[in-house]
Chain A
């Protein structure tokens, strides 16, 4: 069975600073995908970034980047130049054969 653990229930960052959200997972599969989703107060789930496990290069999307450590089964999200609009719940997920397993989320607050 696949499991996803987000060990930080809440995080806080100053506007314009950098923050890293942690995620570890456990899977016996060799072909899988990793995701970070953002859920703002509107509760709409928004895809932030995606990583294929077979790729060694870390994914980057504008201010969002990941640190993927396959051997350690770690997939952290780094948000640079944090903005007030980044305040949200962030969920890490592992995908295999069409299904996703989610962590319990990290609530990120951004201080002006």
Chain B
């Protein structure tokens, strides 16, 4: 089946620890995105990538890092510099150059908790 997968479903981070959230898609989509969702808030953009080996900061990039070495994969690292990482993280992807070029499709999400 085609789709977007995120792992793990739940992730626990200790103080001072870096953790990496995985996002993989087999939809052959060009662009990929990371969002953060806090209670009572909409989705806020962390990073996005429109092409392999290139990515841009979103509205809340501080304390996060990404890479885009393969078209299918866009991992997000939550560094120790992110002081309040507890949130729900959603990955999305989008096909460029089509009639649905603006539509983003989402993975199931990862819940990150700080111990």
Contact of A45 among B31, B50, B90, B102 (CB under 8 A): B90
Q: How many residues of B contact A (CB 8 A)?
A: 25
Residue of A nearest to B43 (CB): A102
**What residues on B are CB-neighbors of A91 within 8 Å?**
42-43
**What residues on B are CB-neighbors of A32 within 8 Å?**
102
Contact, CB under 8 Å: B102 / A98: yes
Contact, CB under 8 Å: B50 / A44: no
Q: How many residues of A contact B (CB 8 A)?
A: 22
What 0/1 readout, one digit per residue, does chain A (23-46) give for beta carbons within 8 Å of chain B? Answer: 000000000110101000011111
What 0/1 readout, one digit per residue, does chain B (52-74) give for beta carbons within 8 Å of chain A? Answer: 00000000000000000000000
| Smallest CB-CB A-B distances: 4 pairs | A102-B42, A45-B106, A95-B102, A33-B102
Residues of chain B touching chain A, judged by Cβ–Cβ distance below 8 Å, are 31, 33, 40-45, 48, 50, 88, 90, 92, 94, 96, 100-109
Residues of chain A touching chain B, judged by Cβ–Cβ distance below 8 Å, are 4, 32-33, 35, 37, 42-47, 50, 91, 95-96, 98-100, 102-105
